[in-house]
Structure 1
Amino acid sequence: MTSGIHHITGITRKIQANVDFYAGFLGLRLVKRTAGYEDADQLHLFYGDAAASPGSLVTFLAWEDGSPGRVGLGQPSEIAFAIRPEAIGFWLTRALTQNIAMTGPAQEFGEPVLRLKDPDGIIVKLVGEADVEGPAPHVTKDIAAGDAIQRIRGATILSERPAETAAFIGGHFGFRRAAEADGIVRLAGDAGDVLDIRDASGFWTSAPGTGTIDHVALRAPDRAAVEAAAGRLAAEDAGDTNMHDRTYFYSLYVREPGGSLVEYATDAPGMTVDEPLETLGARLFVPRHFRADPDDVRARLPQFSLPGEERMSERDLPFIHRVHRPENPDGTAVVLLHGTGGNETSLLPFGARLAPNAVLLSPRGRSMDEGYPRFFRRLTAVTFDQKELASEAEAFAAFMEGANAAYGLDPEKTLFVGYSNGANMIGAVMLLHPGVIRNAVLLRGMNVLETVPAADLSGANVLMVSGEADPYGRYAGDLEAHLAAAGATVEHKLLAAGHDIGIADLDLAKAYKERVVG
């Protein structure tokens, strides 16, 4: 049995910072970008050497703006990459000049080690391994072949049952006990990489989230070996296992006795099964089982730029938000405000179909109502928290002032599109802060202000779209009357629909956008 590490998977909160660290600072090659296999709205990036070799791969699931996790029991805690010992000085200087958090060098098991932290706080070790020779080190303009990362050196697993963890991994996946020191049992694989099992008795338990390592994947020679391992694990009642065809490898998942998730993955068919080596990582792969429109998935996923590419950095503004940049911008923008139960990604496919060449800006509501983000809370089905509504409208006005400056948006060529709670927010902002929003499409909107101030909305354009069967539709006329009384030009369309929106709403919004902002 050939044993070793196939890949290591972590979770990141900001994909651009992650790309800047792993592809930019560490010099790894981005070898694959996919939608998640469990969640199509989750971007999954693979980094590796120049040939995307098994044993060189580190991957990240993007939980954009997700909650931080907690490193603890039942979880890997460190990623280690192998470099040549003489390259330690290069990386020490590189970390210092690029302000990367670092400690060391120090000796661990007789090898020099630099400890770094990635932007999410995951510990990354650069280990000087004697006579290391990676299959295809990735060379960049500022990292020579002799200094480049050669492959994965190992990972550290925290366990309060270290002896059982070590026996499980050794017995099922071919690792052997190689050394022990300072509360760590070191297991070695045939490929030259290691797993350090740290006795973490008394530590707190782990919690999933950003800034944590999700799992370590170990190498299987072929699918038959994966299925044989599944049979052995089932016979030993070793816990739940599940097997998956991940297109680039076939694998099973199981938890070792200490609680860490372990994957067992085949080398074949590999990362080049669906795109040539020369252009590896250039296109997005969407797993077929979702039966999703790739354009819709692409619109919801966070965008990023590789080192050296032109970028529009996301700014720190009062609302968590997503910016989607088109390939051929036409100078217009669409701001999308979701309804209850949605988030900053929900309306991005709608926006991309509405205006393929517009910059899309989609904020997340900051109020939580029954576990869902909203732009302000409701007290009953048709009454709302007026104090929060006023404060959030003021915050949104400030957000748009910052966003216009940060992303170069022209208010005259920006269309605001809101659905349900988002539409209600747009209507409130227009009446409370005239001038912030000049062009709007309100899908299933209603008035939510108990006291409507005098406002001058002359020059503003509003399309309201209501549903004949919408139980809230009878409240739409009040908002229309207030906007028109303030001087806005209001069109109100009634569709044979309920509260949900569909293709008819999209067609109306698309035609309206062409008329009012181009």
Structure 2
Amino acid sequence: MSIKTSGLHHVTAIGGNPQRNVDFYLRTLGLRLVKTTVNFDDPGTYHLYYGDQSGKPGSLITFFPWSDAPAGRLGTGQATTTAFSVPETSLGWWQQHLKAQGVETSQIRNADNEETLAFRDPDGLQLALVAHPQGDPRDPWDTKLVPAENAIRGLHSVTLSVSKEDATAGMFTDGLGLSFHSQEGNRFRFEAGEGGPGALVDVLVTPETPRGLVATGTVHHVAWRAPDEPTQAAWREELVDKGVNVTSILDRQYFRSIYFREPGGTLLEVATDAPGFTYDEPLLELGRALKLPPWLEPRRDEIEHMLPKLNLPSENNPEQK
């Protein structure tokens, strides 16, 4: 593989009630809503992007919140845990903070000597906060509810559940340019570039587990970073040459994307770093207004009528009077 990803770009999941989703990720987890737009394939549904101040690649979790969608089922063929990176000394604070919000947690330590706090969001999505011993230099979004000294730095890793590891491992090493890092029992860790928070994927092998069902409370896809469009185009050709069924390059306004499935069944994406979320609104105003791509703008009145109104907590734009 001549082209290699530098790490995770974003994780996209399916949520339920959009207001509940906003309240949890802004107020409970302290992320910033950096873009309020719609699912381009289903514009009657929001697409909400949460991340750091500017929504840098590697900080992002995004949602399609369908209020009437059925509950999903965790299992093989999907990403089953999304982990965020937090300061090493912050897990006690997070445990108390989440408890005060009515969120149950469990604490573990993994083979990399990382302390982890596991919990679920209101729709049942499996999440974790990981305190990496070597720290994480990324700047957080700072709010009164979740101050910078404890705040999420960005994505740490994702866990994929599969019935067998060989073909999935081959996709990560030969298709995405990751390298094998370590094994702990039936969990195999791979890393992009120099590794560390934001560049990790764990492959959990559970052949006895039934196939998962992607719906509310589950991950829809996992996106990996490409630095620019020429690299992405060349990458696509390499994947096609390997016999991978890859989509055409799609315009997502804030990045360009290609999609394909790894052999275990999880939908993967390769997304460009640019142009980013300040493409259509200033940094200080990110997430406040509904943004539509040019081809949907003529339908704005219809789309706004279909979408439930969102009330954004003041934490999203604390400088706003």
> Which TM-score applies when normalising by structure 1?
0.58
SS at match of 1:16: helix
Q: In the alignment, is the contact (CA less than 8 A) between 2:116 and 2:128 conserved in 1?
A: yes
1:51 equivalent in structure 2? 54
1:17 equivalent in structure 2? 20
SS at match of 2:274: strand
Q: Are 2:255 and 1:249 equivalent residues in the alignment?
A: yes
SS at match of 1:229: helix
1:73 counterpart (76, 94, 98): 76
Q: 1:270-419 alignment to 2 at 5 Å? A: 270-290=276-296, 292-308=298-314
Q: In the alignment, is the contact (CA less than 8 A) between 1:84 and 1:131 conserved in 2?
A: no
Comparing 233-242 and 22-31, the one that deviates more: 233-242
Alpha-carbon shift at residue 160 of structure 1 (Å): 1.6
1:269 counterpart (275, 280, 285): 275
Q: 1:138-149 alignment to 2 at 5 Å? A: 138-149=141-152
Alpha-carbon shift at residue 2 of structure 1 (Å): 4.5
Assess, with a 3 A threshold, how the Cα gap between structure 1 residues 91 and 108 changes in structure 2: closer, same or farther.
farther
State the alpha-carbon separation in 2 of the partners of residues 107 and 180 from structure 1: 11
Amino acid corresponding to residue 235 of structure 1 in structure 2: D
Which one has a larger percent helix, Structure 1 or Structure 2? 1
Comparing 190-199 and 26-35, the one that deviates more: 190-199
State the alpha-carbon separation in 2 of the partners of residues 108 and 15 from structure 1: 36
1:499 equivalent in structure 2? none
- Deviations 1:141-161, CA, capped at 9 Å, x for gaps: 122211000110010011123
2:220 counterpart (214, 220, 226): 214
- Deviations 1:360-386, CA, capped at 9 Å, x for gaps: xxxxxxxxxxxxxxxxxxxxxxxxxxx
State the alpha-carbon separation in 1 of the partners of residues 25 and 244 from structure 2: 35
- Deviations 1:18-54, CA, capped at 9 Å, x for gaps: 1111111000000001111111111000000112111
- Deviations 1:105-141, CA, capped at 9 Å, x for gaps: 4445310000011001011100001233343300101
Amino acid corresponding to residue 21 of structure 2 in structure 1: N
SS at match of 1:99: coil
State the alpha-carbon separation in 2 of the partners of residues 48 and 86 from structure 1: 21
Alpha-carbon shift at residue 240 of structure 1 (Å): 4.1
State the alpha-carbon separation in 1 of the partners of residues 36 and 127 from structure 2: 22
Gaps of 5+ in 1: 310-518
- Deviations 1:162-213, CA, capped at 9 Å, x for gaps: 1211221222222111111021110112263210011021211122211110
Alpha-carbon shift at residue 224 of structure 1 (Å): 1.3
Q: In the alignment, is the contact (CA less than 8 A) between 1:11 and 1:212 conserved in 2?
A: yes
State the alpha-carbon separation in 2 of the partners of residues 34 and 132 from structure 1: 33
Assess, with a 3 A threshold, how the Cα gap between structure 1 residues 208 and 196 changes in structure 2: closer, same or farther.
same
Q: Which consecutive aligned stretches of 4+ in structure 1 deviate over 4 angstroms post-superposition?
A: none
State the alpha-carbon separation in 2 of the partners of residues 146 and 247 from structure 1: 33
Q: In the alignment, is the contact (CA less than 8 A) between 1:134 and 1:151 conserved in 2?
A: no
1:61 counterpart (45, 59, 64): 64
State the alpha-carbon separation in 1 of the partners of residues 231 and 164 from structure 2: 26
Q: In the alignment, is the contact (CA less than 8 A) between 1:3 and 1:173 conserved in 2?
A: no
State the alpha-carbon separation in 2 of the partners of residues 20 and 269 from structure 1: 27
Q: In the alignment, is the contact (CA less than 8 A) between 1:179 and 1:185 conserved in 2?
A: yes
State the alpha-carbon separation in 1 of the partners of residues 164 and 274 from structure 2: 33
1:231 equivalent in structure 2? 237
Q: 1:414-429 alignment to 2 at 5 Å? A: none
Assess, with a 3 A threshold, how the Cα gap between structure 1 residues 49 and 235 changes in structure 2: closer, same or farther.
same
Assess, with a 3 A threshold, how the Cα gap between structure 1 residues 142 and 291 changes in structure 2: closer, same or farther.
closer
2:318 equivalent in structure 1? none
State the alpha-carbon separation in 1 of the partners of residues 66 and 47 from structure 2: 10
1:175 counterpart (162, 175, 178): 178
Assess, with a 3 A threshold, how the Cα gap between structure 1 residues 188 and 128 changes in structure 2: closer, same or farther.
same
State the alpha-carbon separation in 2 of the partners of residues 302 and 166 from structure 1: 41
- Deviations 1:204-257, CA, capped at 9 Å, x for gaps: 112221111001000001111211121112112122433201110011000001
SS at match of 1:81: strand
State the alpha-carbon separation in 2 of the partners of residues 163 and 125 from structure 1: 26
SS at match of 1:40: strand
Amino acid corresponding to residue 10 of structure 1 in structure 2: A
State the alpha-carbon separation in 2 of the partners of residues 252 and 239 from structure 1: 10
> Which TM-score applies when normalising by structure 2?
0.92
